[in-house]
Amino acid sequence: MLPLSNFLTRKVLEVKIIKAKTSDSRFGNCLLIVYWATYLSKKYNIPFIYYEKFVESDNLKISNIKDLFQASFANVLRLKSENDIDIKSDKDICYEIDIDFLMSNENSSELLKDVDAEFKKLIEPIKDIELPVQQENIISCALHVRKGGGFDLPLLSQDGLQSKIDTSFIPIDAQVLAQEVLSRSAITRMFNKLFKIDRYIDLRWPLKFPPDRFYVDQIKYVAQLFKDKKLKIYLFTDDQNPEKIVKKYKKYLNNLNIEFVYRKENNTHDSNILYDFLTMAKCDCLIRPESTYSVMAEKIGNFKLVLYPAHAIWVSKSQLAIDEVGYK
């Protein structure tokens, strides 16, 4: 964080601060907003000194940030992009950011490295949390599987493990369709007749809810990559029945050198949030969807390998397929 000593003489100099508007978002989104606030603070030399409490924030070191100025600012500007920042302005301004902020892609690796380090400090737990111990000759792999968990709309797509490809169906770019869904444009009405787009979450966020085929394929890849070691898969999911997922995956993996670790009861989308997040970040490898929860775990982790869906297509009216996988 930037020191505040240079920003306390408001009568002499204009003051600008950054506020993270986090109260209305889920844990992963809140961490992303905090990351953006940290980034803006570093890049533009503006102190990040205010955030709104969110789930688990009182258990993180970010809770040391105090609200010094926010209540007295007449000028509060909600940032949509970095273009909205006016460094030369002589007004006192509270720059407020939420999940709709768009971060620039043109940044130096040195800046992003500093941001990552500062962000990691902010979300360290205040009290030590006992996490699983990493074992020699065992590769631990965090598997983040989003199913909705009763919080989101249901999924349209089948799991992709058994279904046959409909050769009469012309594939549709899933991201293009999602943009139409979210924009509510005129073309949306046409797609709605075919897909019933208002009823299914994976039509809106295809990379956040990839089919099971994606996860099984990536587990096979990791197992082959580290074939001389045992693979321990830590399943993190919002699904209320993780065991059902494990049984399905085991059937198609057929690999005795893979062990699954998962919560056998009382698993919900809003339970064990911090413990699971920190455990995920401690693993050797990460297989994740485009979910801010695991994207932020990637920020604080030190993974040997990260695999994620980079592009998706609808290959039938009820089958989503990941046709491009990203890796780091």
Residue-wise pLDDT for 284-328, tens only, equals 999 999 999 999 999 999 999 999 999 999 998 889 999 999 999
Q: E strands of the chain, at which residues? A: 16-20, 48-51, 76-78, 93-97, 138-145, 172-173, 230-237, 258-261, 285-287, 305-316, 319-327
93, 159, 286 from 88: Cα distances, Å: 11, 53, 43
Listed by start position, the domains of the chain span 5-122, 134-328
% of the chain exceeding 90 in pLDDT: 52
Handedness of CA 209, 211, 212, 217 (dihedral sign): negative
* pLDDT of amino acid 11: 40
In this prediction, residue 4 has a pLDDT band, given cuts at 50, 70 and 90, of very low
> Which amino acid is present at 133?
V
pLDDT at residue 268 greater than cutoff 90: no
pLDDT at residue 182 greater than cutoff 60: yes
pLDDT at residue 1 greater than cutoff 60: no
Give yes or no for a contact between 164 and 319, defined as CB atoms under 8 angstroms apart.
no
The residues pairing with 95 across neighbouring beta strands, listed in sequence order, are 18, 77
Give yes or no for a contact between 180 and 191, defined as CB atoms under 8 angstroms apart.
yes
The closest alpha carbon to 107, from 35, 15, 6, 1, belongs to: 35
- pTM of the complete model: 0.87
Residue-wise pLDDT for 197-246, tens only, equals 668 889 889 999 999 999 999 999 999 999 999 999 999 999 999 999 99
Is CATH 3.40.50 the right assignment for the domain spanning 134-328? yes
* pLDDT of amino acid 187: 58
Distance between CA 283 and CA 143 in Å, rounded?
A: 10
Which residue in the block uniquely carries the two structure tokens 């970040």? Answer: 281
> Which amino acid is present at 187?
I
Residue-wise pLDDT for 55-112, tens only, equals 999 999 998 876 555 456 678 889 999 988 887 777 788 899 999 998 888 888 999 9
In this prediction, residue 5 has a pLDDT band, given cuts at 50, 70 and 90, of very low
Residue 266 gets the label, from left (phi > 0), alpha (psi -120 to 50) or beta, of left
Strand (E) or helix (H) holding 293: helix 292-300
Distance between CA 182 and CA 234 in Å, rounded?
A: 33
If you average pLDDT over residues 268-296, what whole number do you get? 94
Distance between CA 150 and CA 242 in Å, rounded?
A: 14
